[in-house]
Structure 1
Amino acid sequence: MVYTRKDVSTFTRSERRRFVNALLEVKRRGEYDEFVRTHIEYYVSDGERRLRAAHMAPSFLPWHRRFLLDLEDALRRVDESVTVPYWDWTRTRTPTAVPWTEDLLGGTGRRSDRQVMTGPFAYRNGAWTIKVGITETEFLTRDLGRSRDPIALPTAGDVKRALDDPVYDTAPWNSTSAKGFRNKLEGWGRGQGAVSWHTHNRVHRWVGGHMVGGASVNDPVFWMHHAFVDLLWSRWQRRHRGARYLPAKPLARGDAQRGRIVARHEKLPPWDVTPGELEDHSGIYRYA
């Protein structure tokens, strides 16, 4: 049966409570930390001489689509009414708006160490200890808006520039690809610091704390953010009928990216599925 993913700003109190409780239960069972480990393992930069599946590559979008489905399956084993909501950061843009409420994700971190002190995922509540990460910090951290060096969330105009590109991805198929929808949405740009962070990447930086880097899954907002990214991919597909995932075939011998990216009909690790098989989600879920 096809289910619906909703805008988190439309959630009722009951929907918020059920979503939070399902997340906490997946964490209690030890399943959640496996998602963190998986993301860290597949967070491979294009400076490394090995396969990139999750980031800085064409498979950024299908990889996270499948990753979201796995988390959603885990949540629905706890409560079959639960689906992953999306956070439309072009519309709800302040540190006090949904999803940063006491009954949902809690707010920003305190000034001294960025520890989240409010909401169900605050360390002091005892249900959300960080066990897998790139540091030894046990508490969830955030710095919404980057208080010491503020940045703004991406705008509807930023999203439009990505959606307007009719080509899925282009050579060199990495963080330097200047054209193509994939990198315009993923958001790798030129320069250093804030000027180089666009769309998806800028949201990670705006949230700050654990959302910066491979261990970003430790913050539950990761899933809401990527659900919106997934929705934008769906909108791009509707806008550009017939446009497909690229590259369609493995790259030619001698190409510097050969063996480092996944073509449309190649298996997408760690799953037995191809990007081409993940292009159509209409038989699984829809967006409200």
Structure 2
Amino acid sequence: MQRLPVPPPPSPLCPPRIRRSWEATSTKDQHLFVQAVALAMDRGFHQLFVDIHAETLGEAHDSCVFLLWHRKFILGYENMLRSLGRRFACVTLPYFDYIQHNLNYLHGKCTSLESCSPFLTGLGGSTSGHLSSQPLAGFAFSHFKCVDAFPASHACAVPGSDCMRCIPRGAWTRTYFNSTALSFTSIKRVLFDADDGMTALSLRIERSPHDVFHFTLSAALANFVVAALDPVFYGHHATIDILAVIHHRCQGRTRSTQRTSKPCGRSKEASRQRPCWTACVPTSVDEYAVTRPWFQHVPLTYGDIVDTTNLGVHSYRYNLTGLLGTLYSHCDHAGMNHTANMELQANSEDYEDDDQHVVMDVADVDSL
């Protein structure tokens, strides 16, 4: 791949980094995010992250560092968007709140994956486009519509070549939620039913909801080699990151910061500075100078990125709403009748401490 020019550093004048759901993000900031993604595609930076993800599948998936590898990965992507110019210097990743959307679907407030998910329509939806036989990284998606709505219209598998200008997507208007896997009860069980540490938690979350939702979205997003081409990927993984945040707050503060000398994950050559969750020495495998500023000053070891509020200039928090806010606030007691009144009282007193995430407008747990 061609070497790209080093981007300018982001402005240091940004407010604290707080990621919000797409619905809680202002219209102005929604447009800013989508425009940043399109510009990143035009400059070839977006594709660098597709390649990083594809080249490090052995460490990124089916390993105990699945959650933390992707935490650093999407943080680097967010930093990349911020490097695109002063206009984008404070942009943040929105998260895709499909846990809440699934509940809305069950309550009959919407009828399909797309109609329940403003995030999907905000990133171009699934209806505008055409069938295409052009392969993507050697994979054929000829049975899926290649969506050419903005920002997918800027997609380019190989910068500088004859670009596809579209992304293969599933028929989201005719796709339904896997309501069992995405239910409040299932998510709570994944997070709290077993007290068996970060490794087991990571593998459980990877199987469900992570894998389940990738396959529900289908097309490019169901192929982990090319999934990161679709910007929906980053909103999905921000939600997966929230599950790790919830577990850390509720159960993992002490255990998750422990080190072990046992290797974690399959070692595989990557295209960036590969962090290390265990006591091993990180190996520098970053070939491209252009990617280094996006990961600069992000801790190298996985154990040092467990707490997202303690990452120095890269620290971030989430504005949590609905069911995710309920889980963050009440942990394994969430959804129990004796907490319902506490939940309703908390709605009138939103809090924002230095070491906590923001919880607002939490759903009424009586209906769960």
Taking structure 1 as the reference length, what is the TM-score of the superposition? 0.76
Question: Kindly tell me: are residues 3 and 249 of structure 1, through their superposed partners in 2, closer, same or farther at Cα, counting changes over 3 Å?
Answer: same
User: SS where residue 141 of structure 1 aligns?
Assistant: strand
Correspondence for 2:196 among 167, 173, 192: 167
In the alignment, which residue of structure 2 is the partner of 1:55?
A: 61
User: SS where residue 10 of structure 1 aligns?
Assistant: coil
In the alignment, which residue of structure 1 is the partner of 2:25?
A: 11
User: SS where residue 83 of structure 2 aligns?
Assistant: helix
In the alignment, which residue of structure 2 is the partner of 1:140?
A: 167
**Matching of residue 285 in structure 1 with residue 323 in structure 2:** no
**Matching of residue 235 in structure 1 with residue 246 in structure 2:** yes
On the 8 A contact 2:259/2:303 being kept in 1, the answer is: no
**Matching of residue 68 in structure 1 with residue 74 in structure 2:** yes
User: SS where residue 287 of structure 1 aligns?
Assistant: strand
**1:84-129 CA distances to partner (integer Å, 9 max, x unpaired)?**
011111112421221122xx21112568542244631343xxx223
More helix by share: 2
Gaps of 5+ in 2: 1-14, 103-112, 132-142, 269-275, 287-298, 320-368
User: SS where residue 100 of structure 2 aligns?
Assistant: coil
In the alignment, which residue of structure 1 is the partner of 2:184?
A: 156
Give the counterpart letter for 2:150 in structure 1: P
In the alignment, which residue of structure 1 is the partner of 2:150?
A: 120
User: SS where residue 223 of structure 1 aligns?
Assistant: helix
1:151, CA displacement in angstroms? Answer: 5.8
Give the counterpart letter for 1:225 in structure 2: H
Question: Kindly tell me: are residues 115 and 106 of structure 1, through their superposed partners in 2, closer, same or farther at Cα, counting changes over 3 Å?
Answer: same
- Which residues in structure 2 correspond to 1:1-288 (within 5 Å)? 2-44=16-58, 53-78=59-84, 79-93=88-102, 94-96=113-115, 97-101=117-121, 104-108=122-126, 113-117=143-147, 119-123=149-153, 127-131=154-158, 139-144=166-171, 152=178, 154-164=182-192, 165-170=194-199, 180-187=200-207, 198-213=208-223, 214-240=225-251, 241-244=253-256, 248-250=260-262, 263-267=277-281, 270=285, 273-283=300-310, 284-288=315-319
1:167, CA displacement in angstroms? Answer: 2.5
1:25, CA displacement in angstroms? Answer: 1.1
1:138, CA displacement in angstroms? Answer: 6.1
User: SS where residue 8 of structure 1 aligns?
Assistant: coil
CA distance in 2, matches of 1:209, 1:236: 30
Question: Kindly tell me: are residues 259 and 43 of structure 1, through their superposed partners in 2, closer, same or farther at Cα, counting changes over 3 Å?
Answer: closer
On the 8 A contact 1:115/1:142 being kept in 2, the answer is: yes
Gaps of 5+ in 1: 45-52, 171-179, 188-197, 252-256
**1:3-60 CA distances to partner (integer Å, 9 max, x unpaired)?**
101111212211111001111111111111110111110112xxxxxxxx11100111
CA distance in 1, matches of 2:146, 2:316: 32
Give the counterpart letter for 2:183 in structure 1: T
Question: Kindly tell me: are residues 61 and 246 of structure 1, through their superposed partners in 2, closer, same or farther at Cα, counting changes over 3 Å?
Answer: farther
**1:206-232 CA distances to partner (integer Å, 9 max, x unpaired)?**
111111122100100110011111111
Question: Kindly tell me: are residues 42 and 233 of structure 1, through their superposed partners in 2, closer, same or farther at Cα, counting changes over 3 Å?
Answer: same
Give the counterpart letter for 2:33 in structure 1: F
Q: How many residues align?
A: 247
Among the aligned pairs, what percent are the same residue? 23
Give the counterpart letter for 2:21 in structure 1: D
Mean alpha-carbon deviation: is it higher for 153-162 or for 58-67? 153-162
Question: Kindly tell me: are residues 85 and 267 of structure 1, through their superposed partners in 2, closer, same or farther at Cα, counting changes over 3 Å?
Answer: farther
CA distance in 1, matches of 2:257, 2:169: 34
Taking structure 2 as the reference length, what is the TM-score of the superposition? 0.60
On the 8 A contact 2:19/2:316 being kept in 1, the answer is: yes
